Homo-oligomer: A and B are copies of this chain.
Amino acid sequence: MDMAMATFNSHDCGDCPIRHRAVCARCDDRELDELEQIKYYRSYEAGQTVVWSGDPMDFVGSVVTGIATLTQTMEDGRRQMVGLLLPSDFVGRPGRERAAYDVTATTDIVMCCFRKKPFEEMMLRTPHIGQRLLEMTLDELDAAREWMLLLGRKTAREKIASLVAIIAKRDASANGAGRERAVTFDLPLTREAMADYLGLTLETVSRQISALRRDHVIEMQGKRHVTIPDMDRLLEEAGDDADGGMLV
């Protein structure tokens, strides 16, 4: 808890790091005040389960810091990650009683939660929230569809390259860096989580990472820290068009 809160101590929406990107992005000061009435923070340590699929869920909320995942599990244990939740991403569905997926913290996380009932009522009165949520949901749907192409049609090597590219891109946009020079960052996922993301086994993930390393598409310092010497080369390996499929 202390670890997770270390980088985030404020309870004031005004200096919230995700103020301009989360579900509250379009809210004016009055609306923010109202949201503050029903909000509270919760922290989870890396590895903890936030909610189990099928469990009742009496809140919705936003990831403030850290990374969480949405996964689906079949009866025999096969697992597929279906969402990667980064800061500002929304968890839960207004109008739904129970969680549809397992939500797991992969790093320490802080969430900004709203009690579901009051939030739903406020949504009806406050178009700004619904509008922003629609926008975010459409973005998620696009991401899910890109992911479907990856799962259905890409080779293991392309899958790994794609995942690395996605994380690199997110990091670049978070840190405001351009594409001009070598990018470096940490993989926030274990090999097993990557396998669940990509529809592979963890052994195949490991092998393909080794192969990309051998071919100098990526460089690694330790098991988690990655350097991309040539982003265009990586995107080529990912099978995306050179511009990374950006939809303006």
Given A80-B148, A151-B152, 18 further pairs, Cβ under 8 A = A72-B148, A75-B239, A75-B241, A78-B153, A79-B153, A80-B149, A80-B153, A82-B148, A95-B135, A100-B145, A100-B247, A101-B145, A127-B127, A130-B130, A134-B134, A137-B141, A144-B145, A148-B148
What 1/0 flags go to A221-248 for Cβ under 8 Å of B? 0000000000000000001010000011
Contact, CB under 8 Å: B98 / A247: yes
Minimal beta-carbon separation of A218 from chain B (angstroms)? 21
The distance from the CB of A93 to the nearest CB of chain B, in whole angstroms, is 6
* Interchain CB contact (< 8 A) of A148 among B75, B127, B135, B147: B147
**Residues of B contacting A111 in the complex (Cβ-Cβ under 8 angstroms):** none
Asked if A184 is an interface residue, CB under 8 A from chain B, the answer is no
Interface size on A, as a range, is 35 or more
The digit string for A135-169, where 1 denotes a CB below 8 A from any CB of B, is: 10110111011111101110000000000000000
* A67: B residues at CB distance < 8 A: none
Q: Is A70 an interface residue (CB 8 A)?
A: yes
Indicate whether A83 reaches chain B with its CB closer than 8 angstroms.
Answer: yes
Inter-subunit contact A100/B134 (CB<8 Å):
no
A74 CB–B CB distance under 8 Å: yes
Assess the A82–B149 pair: CB atoms within 8 A. yes
Task: Please name all residues of chain B whose beta carbon is closer than 8 Å to the beta carbon of A97 when the two chains form the complex.
Answer: 248
A198: CB under 8 A from chain B? yes
Contact across chains for B144 and A141 when beta carbons are under 8 A apart: yes
Q: Is A213 an interface residue (CB 8 A)?
A: no
Which residues 92-107 of A sit at the B interface, judged by CB distance below 8 A?
A: 93, 95-98, 100-101
What's the minimum C-beta distance from A96 to chain B, rounded to whole angstroms? Answer: 7
B145, A72: Cβ atoms under 8 Å?
yes
Question: Considering the chains assembled together, what is the distance between the CA atoms of A148 and B147 in angstroms?
Answer: 8
Q: Is the C-beta of A85 less than 8 angstroms from some C-beta in chain B?
A: no
The CB with the most chain B CB atoms within 10 A, among A101, A137, A144, A149, is that of A149
